[in-house]
Structure 1
Amino acid sequence: MSVLSVKANFKSDTTIVEFTDKGVKKRVTVYTSSKRDFDLPKVLDLENVLKSVGVDSLERKKAIVLAGSNGEKQDTILVVARDGRDIKIVLRAPKELSVARQDTSRNDNEDHWSRENRTYKSESNEDDDKKEKKSKGSGKFFSRSDFGLYIGLNNWAKGSTTGSSLDTWGSRYVALSLQRNATLINGKQVDVAITYGPEVAWNNFMFEGNTVTEMLGKQVVFKDFGQNLSKSKLVVPMLNVPILLNFGFEEAKFRIGLGGYVGYRIGGYRKIKYDDGGKKEKLKGSYGLEDFRYGLTAELGKKKGLTFFVRYDLSETFKVEQINAKGLQAWSIGLRL
């Protein structure tokens, strides 16, 4: 490995190291204003020189990638700023390098670093600028808005009420959601956002056997229908507004959201299907259901892909005066597509 210039003082607070790096296959010039003392390594390559100057491993890797990314230019000028970590890389021809040095030598009263930075920016590659901005967290993890389809299972957390046992796999939860994401923190490693928006949801409570929901006077009851049924369910449509605090981890492309929701019932009906002949009946009604609902929710999954969700109602499904349906709180689990 040939060495063009081992060490030279550009100004009293500036050190220049020039060498040929076989790894990136070009001549490299490193400018540093680091005030810490350092010794040149025995093997002059970009990794070792930057390590001696005090540049951390993440920035060293970035510098090596950028230095070797342009095969047309034969020279790489690397500027290590005063904090020892902020790196700017420009690819320039040997003649341009000579002109830049003459320009900086004409006026010693002007600050060297500000002048050099202006020169480099005018010659810099736009792709490098974009990469640098992205590394500093300018890109957002969360999109401004998105549409979600929730599909899962639901049941009651306290199903001790007589006749309220549900068919686990037949009781399904479906929701259509339109969400907005407001980014609060746009960090290098983690983005934090508030996610909110309306959704229309359907709780399908599928009963076991021949149990049906009926109203006797003002009281809801769960009773045997007296005939064989292939399907019996109580459907509760809701208009909900979930609000979540979402954390997006850029490197892992993973997110987790925690929050709650409030909702208002926009209908209700009982649907049964007879075992013989497949005859269906649908009967609308409130069935003693609570109009307002609220609870907790959590979501976790990949940035782009399936997301696992959990919903748990803190409020009861039926009104407090419904003595035959006390303590029934709905929960849902499933996937957001």
Structure 2
Amino acid sequence: MKRLGLILLLLIGGFSVKASYKQDTTIVEFTDRGVKKRVTVYTSSKKDFELPRNLNLENVLRSMGVDSSERKKALVLIEQNGAKQDTILLLANDGRTVKIVAKDARDQLSRRDTLRNDSDHWSRSGRNNDDDEDDDDTTTYVKPKKKNSGGRFFSKSDFGFYLGLNNWANGASTVPSLQTWGSRFIALSFRRNATLINGKQMDLALSYGPEISWNNFMFEGNDYIDRSTEQVEFLVATKDLNKSKLVETSLNLPVMFNFGFEEAKLKIGIGGYVGYRVGSYRKLKYSDSRRKEINRDNFGLNDFRYGLTVEIGRRRGISFFGRYDMGDLFKSGQKNAAGLQAWTIGIRL
């Protein structure tokens, strides 16, 4: 029964592969020393992927999106079958067809191998031919692709736009609450990534660079902040307020250890930051008129800030981040705002 199933699988593969070549075809050819065979892998797709450094059948199929059960099946069939040539058909997770042709490494001195001194290579062809295996005119062989950015998971530098929600914690009961959606955090980040470890499965980079950030603490209702004396006060306006907020601008230096996982295309960053306040102001907007009040003052805020930060996301795309100030937001002499610490959650684009 096993032999009959294998024959049916090969027959189905033979009919399916011709149809798949009507799309772009990717060909990867190498010698798998584990099974001692010359392996050619064909996949029909315009989707690009990155070849692993260590070319063997397991790694190549993984990079093409073939799940572990299918990879194991292919390895078992190739190892158990003693024929000089095996043909196996698989499906990747996204529905792409993957065809494997394995030949005995001792009996496959083909014209391509002789010309290229048995070098590993791969190709991509967009020609609509029924048989791309033996047509040198439709295939240009090149060296295997490396990881992007010179084989590194992280680019040498990048720019990030942070957008999040902020709030404060650990204050006295007299400290007013902030609006959940109105209190926002915005930052522009210019980052350098120095790769410390460039591994097969994981890269580690030290990420650092300047950043400018804006913390908008939006008060609820008619609450507002004032500092007519040396002490900060939280008061309630006699007129209805449409907007009441305290804005703080800082120059920061985040430093993080970034872990990049090649197979999962996932990155995780853990680190901290220090910052210096370069400006702050209070803005009041009254409901019964267009009148606005903007008062520039330090409002008892600490000039220096420091805290912890964490980020997680895909290799390319949106990352989620969180920050927590370890120091007090206001100076130690401000009794009405003692103990307040700011925190932020959001996304990095």
* TM-score normalised per structure 1: 0.66
User: For the structure 1 residues 161 and 203, does the alpha-carbon distance in structure 2 shift closer, same or farther, using more than 3 Å as the test?
Assistant: farther
Shift, 1:91, TM fit: 5.5
Q: Indicate the SS of the match to 1:276.
A: coil
CA contact (8 A) 1:248 1:255 kept: yes
Hey, what's the Cα distance between the residues in 2 that align with 1:174 and 1:123?
Answer: 47
Aligned with 1:92 (options 111, 117, 138): 111
Is 2:348 aligned against 1:307?
A: no
CA contact (8 A) 1:90 1:124 kept: no
Shift, 1:159, TM fit: 3.7
Is 2:226 aligned against 1:243?
A: no
Hey, what's the Cα distance between the residues in 1 that align with 2:194 and 2:110?
Answer: 38
Alignment-derived partner of residue 285 in structure 1: 297
Larger radius of gyration: 1
CA contact (8 A) 1:161 1:324 kept: no
4+ residue runs over 2 A deviation: 22-25, 30-34, 44-47, 59-62, 75-80, 89-93, 118-131
Shift, 1:165, TM fit: 1.4
Unaligned runs of 5+ in 1: 1-21, 48-54, 69-74, 81-88, 101-117
Alignment-derived partner of residue 260 in structure 1: 272
Is 2:165 aligned against 1:153?
A: yes
CA contact (8 A) 2:281 2:298 kept: yes
User: For the structure 1 residues 127 and 181, does the alpha-carbon distance in structure 2 shift closer, same or farther, using more than 3 Å as the test?
Assistant: farther
Alignment-derived partner of residue 180 in structure 2: 168
Q: Indicate the SS of the match to 1:266.
A: strand
Q: Indicate the SS of the match to 1:58.
A: helix
Q: Indicate the SS of the match to 2:289.
A: coil
How many percent of aligned residue pairs carry the same amino acid?
50
The amino acid across from 1:327 in the alignment is: G
- Post-superposition CA distance 1:15-71 (Å, at most 9, x none): xxxxxxx9899xxxx99999xxx9x9xxx9969xxxxxxx97515859x9xx99xxx
Hey, what's the Cα distance between the residues in 2 that align with 1:259 and 1:161?
Answer: 31
User: For the structure 1 residues 234 and 161, does the alpha-carbon distance in structure 2 shift closer, same or farther, using more than 3 Å as the test?
Assistant: farther
- Post-superposition CA distance 1:69-113 (Å, at most 9, x none): xxxxxx998869xxxxxxxx98625xx85xx9xxxxxxxxxxxxx
Q: Indicate the SS of the match to 1:216.
A: coil
Hey, what's the Cα distance between the residues in 2 that align with 1:333 and 1:46?
Answer: 49
Q: Indicate the SS of the match to 2:143.
A: helix
Unaligned runs of 5+ in 2: 1-12, 19-29, 41-54, 64-73, 75-85, 88-100, 124-139
CA RMSD across the alignment: 3.9
Aligned with 1:217 (options 221, 224, 229): 229
Q: Indicate the SS of the match to 2:293.
A: strand
The amino acid across from 1:305 in the alignment is: G
Hey, what's the Cα distance between the residues in 2 that align with 1:90 and 1:160?
Answer: 80
The amino acid across from 2:58 in the alignment is: L
CA contact (8 A) 2:285 2:292 kept: yes
CA contact (8 A) 2:308 2:326 kept: yes
Is 2:189 aligned against 1:177?
A: yes
Shift, 1:172, TM fit: 0.5
The amino acid across from 1:58 in the alignment is: E
Hey, what's the Cα distance between the residues in 2 that align with 1:163 and 1:122?
Answer: 68
Aligned with 1:130 (options 144, 158, 173): 144
User: For the structure 1 residues 323 and 144, does the alpha-carbon distance in structure 2 shift closer, same or farther, using more than 3 Å as the test?
Assistant: same
The amino acid across from 1:283 in the alignment is: N
Q: Indicate the SS of the match to 2:178.
A: coil
Hey, what's the Cα distance between the residues in 2 that align with 1:90 and 1:284?
Answer: 80
The amino acid across from 2:197 in the alignment is: I
The amino acid across from 1:92 in the alignment is: R
